[in-house]
Amino acid sequence: MTDRIVGLSLPTGYRPPDQPSSPPAAPPLSALAVLNVAPTQQAPYFATARIDASGRVQNRDAVDLLGWLRGDALLVTVLGTSVVFQRRPEGALAMTAKPYVVIPAPVRARCFLRAGVRVLVAADPAQDVLVVHSPASVGQMLRHFHTQLAGGDQR
C-alpha cells in the first residue's frame, strides 16, 4: 500500500463556527490609562524572599544595591506589619558578612512573621533603606491601590 497525501479544500469564506469573522477592534488610545513615572536617579529594587527560622531575610541584590557592608549599624523600625532597616550610627543591629538582614524575634512576633513566610523586600538606595513587607502589609497596600484604580471608596 502506498501512502498518499490528500489535500483539503474548504469553500471560500469558510470559518469555524466558534470564531468571529474579524478580530475585535482595539480601544482608542484616549481610552487607555497612561502611567507617568518620573525618572529617579536610581529606582527602588523589589524582590521576594523567605524568612528562615532565625529571622534571616536574604537578598544579595538588595544589600549590594544599598552598598551595605559588614558591621554597618542598622536601625530597625516597625511600621504596621512592615520592618524598616536603615543604616544609622545609632542602630542596635549590625550588618552581617553575608547578604541578609535579621529580623529580631520580638519584631517577627509583632509583625506576624514566622519561618517559611515569603515577604516582599524593597530596597531604596535614594533613602538608604530596606523594607521587609509582610504578606498582610502587601495585601493591605494592594487592596488600597486597586480600590483607587477602580475609583471606589475603601471599606
**Beta strands 73-79; 118-124: pairing state:** unpaired
Please state, in angstroms and rounded to a whole number, the distance separating the CA atoms of residues 88 and 26. 52
Render each residue's pLDDT in the chain as its tens digit; 155 residues. 555 544 444 455 545 555 555 555 544 544 444 444 455 567 789 999 999 999 999 888 999 999 999 999 999 999 999 999 999 999 999 998 888 999 999 999 999 999 999 999 999 999 999 999 999 989 888 888 888 887 766 55
Task: Please state the pTM of the whole predicted model.
Answer: 0.69
